[in-house]
A = this chain, B = another copy of it.
């Protein structure tokens, strides 16, 4: 993998000075076109051997480009905000919006490679991490963030020479630390771990480019050309054709029955039972979330979904009544803002992922993509078909970081919905809750049922199962919701 980069490359000054003006003009033109067309975002990942000229090359690249459309991120130690959330949160946070470029010096690879090289994780553990990396990068390219990965390589002998040279010059000696010398001692182990990582993550959508770091002008031209090529390829490519539907699909059920038909909507809870049960469940949930175990290791993420007027708002209110008001956040998902639209779909949910000890309740959620966006045609078939796997991935990351993930579908029947719509229209301050859209959605009842069925089939996992709640009786639904939450947290704390 690295042999080709050890060939003795050299670019003469004259040739460099001949090429650079044309390269730069082409880069600026491509960048401007990207800004205006907002077709994709570009993510440049920079890794490699110490002292192989990474910083210098990125500097030069920044100088060639229009710095207003580029942001360079030095990925150092995680901040306390970052450590309190899943690993990828900080990278989601920094993703370039469409039209922009983000350069990551240090990335989602850094920790994995260093840890493996130091012998602190096994091959199998590294491979698991690399598998997650592939998923993440696949999601990025699918969601219009193109990925260019650059690995700067020089030989051990060259590293040593560079460090010695930098140390001698007064102007640069501050750049060489004890850590650098220590790392030189681990060069071979690093090379081995990096090889494994690059090999497993050189995918068709995000291959690595190994850059020979020995000659300054050579490496700059290689990187400049690679960035230009990536930009141009993305700009000039024909629009992606709508992908064929996934095979096999979850077929519409032959007898017309869906998972929703398994619910007994007639269940009712009498008033006197309700009051006692409600208070008891709220108390139990309150105590669970106040345990030091929950506060130190876990968080709570709840997705509320259901038909219009199914009672999501009322259920949420019964849950929040049990929580410390400083510890949770209710997020209402409606149309995305323009900042959200310029980033991968899940960005708008990642930004609300709670820190340990906290809860986020989503009133409608990331399932919008496979429900309303699917049925109404707001998302292309490719987008929503792909979403199931992306969502499972998202929830697994939450779960692995300690989050209790609860997903609730509140189900009412058509008669009950009609009754509630009419009731809302008759009640002054609730009238605005009923819009023409609600009536239109109602006409697509069966399409929604089919979408819900497929959603449950594809995304109800052990880590994050769906709970279907019969909600014709509001009191029954609220108790079910609280009971589900309480049980889920209890199970996790055991």
The number of times this chain is found in the oligomer is: 2
Q: Which residue of B lies closest to A57 (CB)?
A: B325
Q: A11 in the interface, Cβ–Cβ < 8 Å? A: no
State whether A67 touches B316 (Cβ < 8 A): yes
Checking B36, B80, B338 against A80 with a beta-carbon cut-off of 8 angstroms, the contacting residue is B80
| Residues of chain B contacted by A337 (CB below 8 angstroms) | 337-339
Q: Is the CB of B29 within 8 A of A429?
A: yes
Contact (Cβ within 8 A) B326 A72: yes
A216 is an interface residue with CB less than 8 A from chain B? no
Structural contact, A327 and B74, CB atoms closer than 8 A = yes
Knowing A68-B363, A174-B290, A338-B338 are in contact, say whether A63-B320 is a contact too (CB < 8 A): yes
Q: Does A32 contact B (CB under 8 A)?
A: yes
C-alpha spacing A71/B25, complex, angstroms: 48
Q: Is the interface of A mostly helix, strand, loop or mixed?
A: helix
- Which residues 283-335 of A sit at the B interface, judged by CB distance below 8 A? 283, 287, 290, 313, 316-317, 320-321, 324-332
Instruction: Report Cα–Cα, A69/B325, bound state, in Å.
Output: 13
| A338 surroundings in chain B (CB, below 8 A) | 337-339
Whole-angstrom distance between the Cβ of A333 and the nearest chain B Cβ:
10
Residues on the B chain within 8 Å of A67, using CB? 316-317, 320, 330, 361
- CB pair B325–A58 under 8 Å, yes or no, is yes
A165 at the binding interface (Cβ < 8 Å): no
- Asked whether A329 lies within 8 Å of B63 as measured between CB atoms, the reply is no
CB of A223, distance to nearest CB on chain B (Å): 13
* A62 contacts partner chain B, Cβ-Cβ < 8 Å: yes
Interface size range of chain A in the complex: 35 or more
A226 contacts chain B at the CB level, 8 A cutoff: no
Report A429 CB to chain B, min CB distance, Å. 4
Assembly CA distance A329 to B71 (angstroms):
6
The answer to whether B74 touches A25 (Cβ under 8 A) is no
- Given A62-B320, A316-B67, A332-B68, A326:B32 Cβ within 8 A: no
Name which of A58, A69, A105, A320 has the most chain B CB atoms within 10 A of its CB. A320
Q: Which of A36-84 contact B (CB under 8 A)?
A: 36, 55, 58-59, 62-63, 66-74, 79-81
Within 8 A of B (CB), among A393-445: 428-429, 432
A141 to B182 CA separation, bound complex (whole angstroms): 56
Q: How far in angstroms is the closest Cβ of chain B from A343? A: 12
B105 touches A326 (CB 8 A): yes
Taking Cβ atoms with an 8 Å cutoff, the residues of A that contact B are: 25, 28-29, 32, 36, 55, 58-59, 62-63, 66-74, 79-81, 103, 105, 171, 174, 283, 287, 290, 313, 316-317, 320-321, 324-332, 337-339, 361, 363, 428-429, 432
Set of chain B residues within 8 Å of A29, measured between Cβ atoms: 428-429
Taking the closest CB of chain B, its distance from the CB of A67, in whole angstroms, is: 4
How far is B32's CA from A36's CA once the two chains are assembled, in angstroms? Answer: 37
| Pairs A–B under 8 Å by Cβ, sample size 26 | A25-B429, A28-B429, A36-B432, A55-B324, A55-B325, A59-B321, A59-B325, A62-B320, A63-B320, A63-B321, A66-B313, A67-B317, A67-B330, A67-B361, A68-B331, A68-B332, A70-B330, A72-B326, A74-B326, A79-B80, A174-B290, A337-B338, A337-B339, A338-B338, A338-B339, A339-B339
Write the chain B residue with the least CB distance to A31.
B429
A330 to B320, CA, bound (A): 41
Give bound CA distance, A432 to B28, whole Å: 12
Contacts of A174 in B (CB 8 A): 290
A103 touches B59 (CB 8 A): no
Which residues of chain B are within 8 angstroms of A330 by Cβ–Cβ distance?
A: 67-68, 70-71
In the assembled complex, how far is the CB of residue A110 from the closest CB belonging to chain B, in whole angstroms?
13
**Complex Cα spacing A174 to B287, Å:** 11
Q: Could you say which residues of chain B place their CB within 8 Å of the CB of A171?
A: 283, 287
Complex Cα distance A349/B264, Å?
54
- Give complex CA distance A174, B290 in Å: 9
Complex: how many Å from CA A25 to CA B427?
11
**Inter-chain contacts of A432 with B (CB < 8 A):** 32, 36
Residue picked from A58, A105, A326, most chain B C-beta under 10 Å? A326
